[in-house]
Each structure stands twice: as C-alpha cells, then as structure tokens.
Amino acid sequence: MLRRLVDHPLTEKVVIALIMVNAVTLGLETSPSVMEAYGGLLVAVDRLLLTIFVAELAARMVVRGPRFFADPWNVFDFLVVAIALLPATGSLSVLRALRILRVLRLITVVPSLRAVVSALVGALPGMGSIMLLLILIFYVFAVMGTKLFGETHEETFGSIGASMLSLFQVMTLDAWSDGLMRPMLEKYPHAWLFFIPFVLVSAFIVLNLFIGVVVSALETERDAERVRKQENATTLSAAIGNAAADLARVSESLDSLRARVEAVEARRQDPPSAR
C-alpha cells in the first residue's frame, strides 16, 4: 500500500503543489508587514509543510530501502530536507535563509527540469575547458593592462587583481566604454586596441562557446531520452508480439484439446453396433 501511494502520479502532483505553496510562504516571510499581520499563520503553515515533506521522504526511504541513496536525486532531496530540520537559532540563524532550498525539490519531481540539470552536469567537463581558456585570456590581458595603464589608473589597473576585476566588468559589457575605455583615451589614444580585442574574444567568442556546449549537452540529453523511449517502445512491442504468439499457441492447443474432447464424446454417444 505504501509503495502504491509513493509511486502514484497524484502523489507527485500534490508534492509539486505543496512545494510551490512553500515557496510563496517563504517569500511572504521576508515582508515585515505581512509577518506582523500573519506571522503566526505563516510559521504554522511552514512547519506543517516541512512535516509533510519529512513524511514523504521517509515513506520513499522505506519503500526504496538501501537503494534510496543510490539515486543522486534522492540524496539531493534528503540533504535539502535535512538542512531545513537543523536548528536556526543563535549562531545558526543563517540557516533560516537556506529553507528556500526546499523549492529546488521541483527539480527532482519535474522530469523536464531534471533533464535540463542532467544536461548541465554532463556539460561540466566541456565548460571546465572553456573556463580554463577564459582564465588564461584574463590573465594575459590583466598583465598587459597592468603594464600599460597601472601607473595612471591605479584603481582599475593598479594590480593583477584590480585588472582582472576591471576586465570582468568589460566582459559583462557593464558600462565598459564610458566607465573604462573612454577616460583612458585621453591619456592613451590607442587604448581601444586593448579593449576591443578583449571584448571580441571574451564576450562574443568564449561566452558563446559556453552556450554551444550547453546546447550540445541538451541535444545529447534529448537524443538519449528519445533512444530510451524508442527502446522502451521496441521492448513493449516485442513483449506484445511474444504475448500474441503465446496466446495464438494457447488458442491452437485449446482448439486441439476441444477437438479431442468432442471426438471422445462422439465415440461415447455412438451405439455399439456403429462401432
């Protein structure tokens, strides 16, 4: 009975609805006016939802047994709920902010979100290589920028760290032209030869490589899901075919048995002279 309850599709829908309600209540708790008017109710609802989440997680652990921790998504659910159970008083009051992590359980119960996260995890090796390339580019341009502009612009290019922070601002295209490049053109007319190549390489090439890797990972995940569905369909079709063949053989056996029974009955009903 517990297994049927845990695996029932309605249970998943109810859990999704409760997670969304919990997200709303946690957001309302950030408003002082709302807490002043409905603080007791919100706290009670939060505790009730946490109790339901704990019960649902415990039921899954009982049903799955030791296999529960073999699934990374189950481990993620366990950690999220466990963090919510930690005391949030005194020096641990910062843990109250981590209660919002319960909203991330939507990833584990919504298949489409789970597929996206799986694709992102699969893209990490490729993204790591691109990140290493980006760090290398940052370091090269930071050394150049410190050598070129460090003496006159100590705040933005006075050291390697300051230069890399300024270059990060340039890469995000956050007021890099008016805030960094144009003031330097008064002292260094050819400073654009430094900034424009960096923008082209970092903001338009390397970052687009990130997008390409993620899109490729998503396509790979979709292809894998499509292959799994085709394999399941093929397996189901083969099972149906085998069942149909077995049913046909059983039907033939029944027909043969029925014919034999009818023949025996006919011999019994014939008079001795006819025999």
To the nearest whole number, what is the mean pLDDT of the chain? Answer: 83
User: For the residues 121-141, what does the mean pLDDT come to?
Assistant: 87
| 97-106, 135-144, 183-192, 210-219: the lowest-pLDDT one | 97-106
Residue 161 has pLDDT above 70, yes or no: yes
Does residue 137 sit in the same domain as residue 41?
no
Does residue 221 sit in the same domain as residue 157?
yes
58: domain CATH number?
Answer: 1.20.120.350
Does residue 95 sit in the same domain as residue 154?
no
Domains: count for the chain:
2
Domain that holds residue 90: 2-109
Tokens of residue 59, six digits: 């039921």
Q: Which long-range contacts (CB under 8 A, 24 or more apart) does 20-29 make?
A: 20/106, 21/45, 21/49, 22/46, 22/49, 22/102, 22/103, 23/100, 23/102, 23/103, 25/49, 26/99, 26/100, 26/102, 26/103
Residue 177 counted as domain residue: yes
pLDDT at residue 145 in the model: 92
pTM: 0.58
Q: For 203-254, what is each residue's pLDDT tens digit? A: 888 888 888 888 888 888 777 777 877 877 778 778 888 888 888 888 888 8
> Closest Cα partner for 50 from 101, 118, 91?
101
Does residue 169 sit in the same domain as residue 65?
no
